[in-house]
């Protein structure tokens, strides 16, 4: 960036705005830096290789952990699905109760006699 700053001074002699030239050149340098970073990441990702020394051991551990899981006999099918009418009556939702909110200038519900905004509304 320092070299760019030194070189931009000569562009003023060529009747070009040094600030704009500095912006254009720094942006192009930034773009080339991004391309180099992407190439480096791609090169690194292609060279990486996974080595599994204990392949058989990890396979037996996976099988043991899979066998340790309890799998239900129904496999997602329950007796409730046989009679959908009874399921709907058992799970009726309760209505939402609308509670009236206290206005800021209404008397406070605590009984102090003050306005809500001066008492409990703080």
pLDDT digits (tens, 9 = 90+) for 50-95: 766 666 666 677 777 766 666 655 555 555 556 655 555 556 777 7
Angstrom distance (rounded) from CA 116 to CA 107: 6
For the chain, what is the domain count? 1
Determine, yes or no, domain membership for 102: no
For residue 74, the model assigns a pLDDT of 58
Determine, yes or no, domain membership for 92: no
| Average pLDDT over the chain, rounded to an integer | 77
Asked whether the predicted pLDDT for residue 109 surpasses 70, the reply is: yes
Determine, yes or no, domain membership for 57: no
Average pLDDT of the residues in 26-47: 93
pTM of the full structure: 0.37
Determine, yes or no, domain membership for 13: yes
What is the length of the chain?
122
φ/ψ of residue 108, rounded to 5: -70, 135
> The domain containing residue 22 runs over which residues?
1-48
The percent of residues in the chain predicted with pLDDT above 90, rounded, is: 14
Determine, yes or no, domain membership for 5: yes
Determine, yes or no, domain membership for 19: yes
Determine, yes or no, domain membership for 62: no
For residue 39, the model assigns a pLDDT of 95
For residue 104, the model assigns a pLDDT of 82
For residue 93, the model assigns a pLDDT of 76
Determine, yes or no, domain membership for 115: no
């Amino acid at each position: 960036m320092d070299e760019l700053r030194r070189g931009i001074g000569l562009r003023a002699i060529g009747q070009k705005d040094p600030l704009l030239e500095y912006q254009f050149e720094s942006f192009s340098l930034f773009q080339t830096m991004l391309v180099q970073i992407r190439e480096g990441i791609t090169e690194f990702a292609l060279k990486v290789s996974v080595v599994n020394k204990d392949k058989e051991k990890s396979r037996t551990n996976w099988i043991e952990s899979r066998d340790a899981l309890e799998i239900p006999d129904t496999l997602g099918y329950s007796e409730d699905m046989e009679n959908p009418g009874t399921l709907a009556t058992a799970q009726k939702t309760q209505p939402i109760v609308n509670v009236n909110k206290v206005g800021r200038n209404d008397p406070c519900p605590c009984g102090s006699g003050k306005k809500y905004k001066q008492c409990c509304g703080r």
